[in-house]
Amino acid sequence: MNLSKLNFDAYAFSKQPDYNEATVRKEFAKAVPLRTIVVYCYDPRAVGIPVAVAKEFGEVFPGDIITDEQGNKIASTASLFEVVVAGGRAVDALRSITVAQHLFGIENIIVVHHTHCGATSFTADGIIDAYQLVETGTDDYSYDYGG
């Protein structure tokens, strides 16, 4: 399959006929009572952070999924969403935070770091070197996907 010919935008809510963003935002806000976002590292040792934050701040996490009569998942009781990124860096979570604010309106953003984070064990120059001739033996990353 030639991935470059797929039109992923065709599946986006915003590309559907009669789409009304203001209406959709109101429905999203009713479907999920999101108030708080917690940003933390994807290190497996940090997995308990959202539950601990929910308990500390009186939020609901993970909450329950609400279904309609046909069994479709249409809502959630969660009031806390998690954004999991390397090192728990807020800058890497900005898009998710922005979307959550736009769709749900959020009141709190909590950033939690953990000790001995592996994401602090490298540098930007080290990553660039790894993708260049120094470590891989090539600087050509133009792949042929068979299209």
Per rule CB under 5 A, is residue 49 in the interface with Zn ion? Answer: no
**Is residue 85 close enough to count as binding Zn ion by CB under 5 A?**
no
Determine how β-strand 108-111 pairs with β-strand 36-41. parallel
- Does 43 contact Zn ion by CB under 5 A? yes
At 35, phi and psi to the nearest 5? Answer: -125, -30
DSSP bridge partners of 80: 36
Is 59 a binding residue for Zn ion by CB under 5 A? The answer is: no
**Binding span for Zn ion by CB under 5 A among 16-24, 54-62, 96-104, 109-117:** 109-117
Helix ranges (DSSP H) in 13-89: 21-31, 49-57
**Least Å distance between CB 87 and Zn ion?**
5
Q: Tell whether residue 83 is a contact of Zn ion (CB under 5 A).
A: no
Rounded-to-integer distance, Cα 121 and Cα 70, Å: 49
Q: How far apart are CA 59 and CA 51, in angstroms?
A: 9
What part of residues 110-139 is at the interface with Zn ion (CB under 5 A)? 117, 119
Closer CB to Zn ion, 97 or 119, in the complex: 119
Binding site for Zn ion (CB under 5 A): 41, 43, 117, 119
